[in-house]
Amino acid sequence: MKNEQQKLNLVEALKLVVQDKNVDDAIVVESLKDALISAARKYLQINKKIDVDIDTETNDIRVFLRVEVVDDYPDYDPSMTAEEVQAMDEGYMLLDEALEFNEDALPGDLLEMEVPVSAFGRQAIQTSKQFLIQRIRDAERNKVFETYRDRIGTMVNGEVVRIENKNFIVSIGRQTEAVLPFKEQIGKERLNQGSSVKAVIANVTESAKGGAQVILSRANGMFLAELFRQEVPEIYEGTVEIKGVARDPGYRAKIAVYSRDERIDPVGACVGMKGNRVQAVVRELANERIDIVHWDADIATYIRRALTPANIVKLSEVAGTNRVVIVVADEGLAQAIGRNGQNVRLASQLVERELVVFGEKEWSEKSDADKQRILAPHRDKRELEGLFREEDEPAEAETATAEENKIEDKVEENQVEENAGEAE
């Protein structure tokens, strides 16, 4: 009676684990079998074949030692692996050892002996439970991997359940918690416990605690792309394609789009009527300013559009490098560079080129030798940077920065209206 009660309690406990952890029944049963095999071998102090029979309807658990008695281990195939040889040896027991379990054992006999679960002892049962818990954790981790590894770059909705060291722990599904790291957050926004949040799955990694960890992001380009995919039917349907994204999260972004259908204006489709589509994205991004660029296969055209509205006077690709030297009209220099170099930096990321911008006056005042050196491949980046700004004076730099800030502030105020006007 006591043995049956222990069996019943063990199976019932497993059923509770299944309900609480949402783990497949088959995984739990196999985990229990492995745990009981480990406990039986420890109890018998042998590493031989142990079979476990579990009747989930009657809650009956029976454990057996089942081996073939032999005078000597049979020869094995040289092509077998070490694991295969070990598994084969576990099914055999030498006669001298078999006689300790059955004094009538003979070579060729199948030695079968039931091992009562109650005989394992308290420590062995505890060991088996720990083994089972670890298997369940492994199953949970594998389930997270299987569920989310193919969803990297897709949008999820969740709720902030707690905050740990500036990282937001977000519930994104039944018993699945993801982390929104501090570096993947939009710096200007503030989320609190209980806040609803949208983010993209940026990665699935091994956590410090040994489980799978889903990493979310609101700061990378995938998040911006997914927001546009949700707001713009033409992108969702594939008519308009996103070719590139560059972001300074919470402040400014550039997104390049292209239409497979010549009748559809990709920029206008993203802006929407009176800017309603782009405004929805801007609100989700804490009023991040968004420049929508019409992508072009011609790199020169693409760069000109990425730096709009700056008037590019001259554009030179440096042979053998990824660098492009650009000369713009002086009145548009500050706007082309942007506040603290933000505009040209984002444009460089978008077109995947190193863009170096000069004003007309600045370029004309350089000697022919300096121009040749700037337009020639260089290994020493510090030397190159010295050539770019070696004649600038501190006062001139401060004036340029102030001018950039004024222009940027004005552009930010009018950006949505300008985009809406283009769409119309």
pLDDT tens track for 81-111? 988 888 899 999 999 999 988 888 899 999 9
pLDDT value for 309? 85
pLDDT value of residue 385? 59
Span 28-47, average pLDDT = 84
pLDDT of residue 400: 43
Please give the pLDDT value at position 6: 47
CATH 3.40.50 fits 2-146, yes or no: no
| Alpha-carbon gap, residue 185 to 192, rounded angstroms | 13
Question: Which of 136-150, 188-202, 328-342, 355-369 is predicted with the least confidence, judged by mean pLDDT?
Answer: 136-150
pLDDT, tens digit (0-9, with 9 covering 90-100), for 366-398: 999 988 888 888 655 555 556 665 444 333 434
- Residue 139, H or E segment: helix 121-148
Q: For the segment 295-335, what is each residue's pLDDT rounded down to a tens digit?
A: 999 999 999 999 988 899 999 999 888 999 999 999 999 99
Q: How confident is the model at residue 281 (pLDDT cuts 50, 70, 90)?
A: very high
The two three-digit tokens of residue 139, written as one number: 């199953």
Q: How confident is the model at residue 210 (pLDDT cuts 50, 70, 90)?
A: low
Question: Which structure tokens are listed for 36?
Answer: 């009981």
Can you give the residue ranges of every domain in the chain?
A: 2-146, 152-217, 299-391
| pLDDT for res 23 | 61
Dump strand ranges (E) for 81-225. Answer: 92-94, 110-114, 155-164, 167-173, 176-180, 196-206, 212-217
Residue in the block written with tokens 């062995």: 124
The predicted pLDDT at position 161 comes to 93
Over residues 122-148, the mean pLDDT reads 75
For 52-86, the pLDDT digits (tens) are 988 877 778 889 999 999 999 888 888 989 888 88
- Per the confidence metrics, is the pTM higher than 0.75? no
In this predicted structure, what is the pLDDT of residue 124? 66
What pLDDT sits at residue 20? 60
Pairing outcome for strands 212-217 and 196-206: antiparallel
SS3 53: strand
Sign of the CA dihedral 138, 142, 143, 149?
Answer: positive
pLDDT mean over 139-150: 80
pLDDT category, 16, cuts 50, 70, 90?
Answer: low
How far, rounded to the nearest angstrom, does the alpha carbon of residue 229 sit from its chain's CA centroid? 19
CA-based R_g, the chain, Å: 34
User: How many angstroms separate the CA atoms of 186 and 197, rounded?
Assistant: 12
CATH number of 299-391: 3.30.300.20
Q: Superfamily for 152-217? A: Nucleic acid-binding proteins (2.40.50.140)
Beta carbons within 10 angstroms of residue 267's beta carbon: 22
The whole-number pLDDT of residue 411 equals 41
Mean pLDDT taken over the chain: 82
Q: What is the pLDDT at residue 22?
A: 60
For the segment 405-412, the average pLDDT, to the nearest whole number, is 45
Is residue 155 pLDDT above 80, yes or no?
yes
What is the distance between the alpha carbons of residues 99 and 84, in angstroms, rounded to a whole number?
A: 26
Task: Give buried/exposed letters for 11-20 (b at 16+ CB in 10 A, else e).
Answer: beebeebeee
pLDDT beyond 60 at 196: yes
End-to-end CA distance of the chain: 83
Sign of CA dihedral 66, 70, 76, 81: positive
Share of the chain above pLDDT 90, in %: 48
pLDDT given for residue 234 in this prediction: 96
% the chain with pLDDT above 70:
80
- Report the pLDDT averaged over residues 144-159: 88
Least confident range of 146-155, 173-182, 376-385: 376-385
What are the angstrom distances between the C-alpha of 109 and each of 43, 44, 66, 88, 89? 23, 20, 10, 16, 16
Q: Are 236 and 277 in contact (CB under 8 A)?
A: no
What is d(CA 387, CA 99) in angstroms, rounded to the nearest whole number? 90
Q: Comparing C-alpha atoms, which of 100, 121, 102, 128 is closest to residue 37?
A: 128
